[in-house]
Amino acid sequence: MLFKSTGKHKVSILDFLPAFSGLVGKVALVSSFALVWAQELELSYEDFVFENVRLELLIGGVITLLAAFLYREAAPAGTLSPLVVMIPIMVAFGVHPLILGLEIGILGFILVKSGLFRKLISLAGEITRTSVTLAFGIAGIWMSANKLSDFFEEQYIFYIVLICLILLFIILLYTKKNWLMIPVAALVALCIPLIFGIQPQLTYHTLSVHIQPEFWWYSIWGIGYGFDLGTIFKTLPFALFSILLWTLDTISIQEVEKIHYDKELGATINIEKSFYMVSFRNILGVSLGGAQTSSLWRSYLVPLFMVNRPMRNSAIILGVLAIITSFFSAPIQLISFTPLVWSVLLFGIFMPFTVIAIKKVWKEKKSTNQIAILAFTTLGIIVNPIFTWIAAVLYERILWVVVSMKKQKE
């Protein structure tokens, strides 16, 4: 009677939408992490990316199920997507992926337990939250559209897919059925390329997942464990930077939660429990050979809030799907079909982020704050979202000081 419940907590077909989106997002983001690490470290193992996706799916699925049963309000641990662009810099500085994951996990536990992590999040006011959400949304749209465009040799196919998805997104947004965008985007991204003779290459066989740390770090990665003081100290600043990125991830996700999620469902995100699981996920993942760095599972949580469903039901479905998928080649090959991956992320994740942020900018009463939000967003898109957070927090602190001084004079 695992799923038996009543009312809003009864299992619905809607519970599968965020689970499917989370699965697609996981495959896409882990593939990105694994691919960039492989390129920068010049790894020679032919199936490195594919094997890493399967490993991370298995680990992610198990931990998601564990969190769903132990901590109802703990969000699933996903992937820290903004860190991908930092991998070339980290490799140049001599950062080791195993040491990075271990340090992030250990520091994560310390900062969450001490309350410092919540304090970092609480620094963000409405201007910071809107700026960060808009920066993530626009940067994600730009990245996804470029990836989608690069896939098609014939650019007119790309424009057909894009125009169809834009029109469908507008229709679903206008009719308040935008929670349907993920399956619609997946269907369009499969069918239109198929019409032009482009299809995913599928092989049908089951596979065992490698979970031996020594085999991964010495035979697959080929770089060993990296336990030396020099590497540990070189990695530390990037581990701290990754935890700061956690706050940005959390802020942008909380904005979607605040606007769309029904608090009566009783499953809003508990920050402490969620990031305890994220910290544990980082340690376990890299210990077994994983390439990703963990944060909240954004590609699952955003659609979950959009369809307004209980977290636990869909998290259990997500965990089960991830584990099953890790043992079969065809589902991973289908889900990792490039047009499907980037269409789902573009219209199921990043467009909702952007729409929410634009609405908040539009409702902002002070034109100076509107200009500040747009300026901070631009800074984050051009440089890095971390600068959006820093600049916006400083701006809000200055505003607070100015207002306080005026009140004292009065």
Return the structure tokens found at 188: 């369009």
Average pLDDT over residues 147-175: 93
Cα Rg of the chain (Å, integer): 21
pTM above 0.85, yes or no: no
Backbone phi, then psi, for 118, in 5-degree steps? -65, -35
In three-state secondary structure terms, 158 is helix
The whole-number pLDDT of residue 6 equals 42
The model's pLDDT over 208-267, given as tens digits with 9 standing for 90+, comes to 888 899 999 999 999 999 999 999 999 998 999 889 889 888 887 888 787 777 666 555
pLDDT at residue 1 above 60?
A: no
pLDDT at residue 5 above 60?
A: no
User: Which long-range contacts (C-beta less than 8 Å, at least 24 apart) are formed by 391-395?
Assistant: 391/131, 392/124, 392/127, 392/128, 392/131, 392/132, 393/123, 393/124, 393/125, 393/128, 395/127
Torsion-angle region of 7 (φ positive above 0: left; ψ -120 to 50: alpha; else: beta): left
CA distance 353 to 364: 17
Amino acid in the structure at residue 285: G
Amino acid in the structure at residue 318: L
Task: Write down the mean pLDDT value for the chain.
Answer: 87
Average pLDDT over residues 91-100: 94
Identity of the highest mean pLDDT range in 1-5, 19-23, 250-254, 286-290:
286-290
The model's pLDDT over 343-384, given as tens digits with 9 standing for 90+, comes to 888 998 889 889 988 988 998 888 899 999 999 999 988 887
CA distance 357 to 138: 10
The model's pLDDT over 102-113, given as tens digits with 9 standing for 90+, comes to 999 999 999 999
Q: Output the CA torsion 376→378→381→387 (10° steps).
A: -30
The model's pLDDT over 47-87, given as tens digits with 9 standing for 90+, comes to 898 889 999 999 999 999 999 988 878 899 999 987 887 88
The whole-number pLDDT of residue 265 equals 58
The whole-number pLDDT of residue 291 equals 93
CB 336, CB 53: distance < 8 Å: yes
The whole-number pLDDT of residue 264 equals 62
Average pLDDT over residues 148-152: 91
pLDDT band (50, 70, 90) for residue 408: confident
Residues of the chain above pLDDT 90, percent:
41
Return the structure tokens found at 374: 């747009």
CB 345, CB 299: distance < 8 Å: yes
Amino acid in the structure at residue 165: L
CA distance 325 to 318: 10
CB 239, CB 107: distance < 8 Å: yes
pLDDT at residue 410 above 80?
A: no
Of 294 and 264, which is predicted with more confidence?
Answer: 294
CB 267, CB 8: distance < 8 Å: no
Neighbours of 328 (CB within 10 A): 16
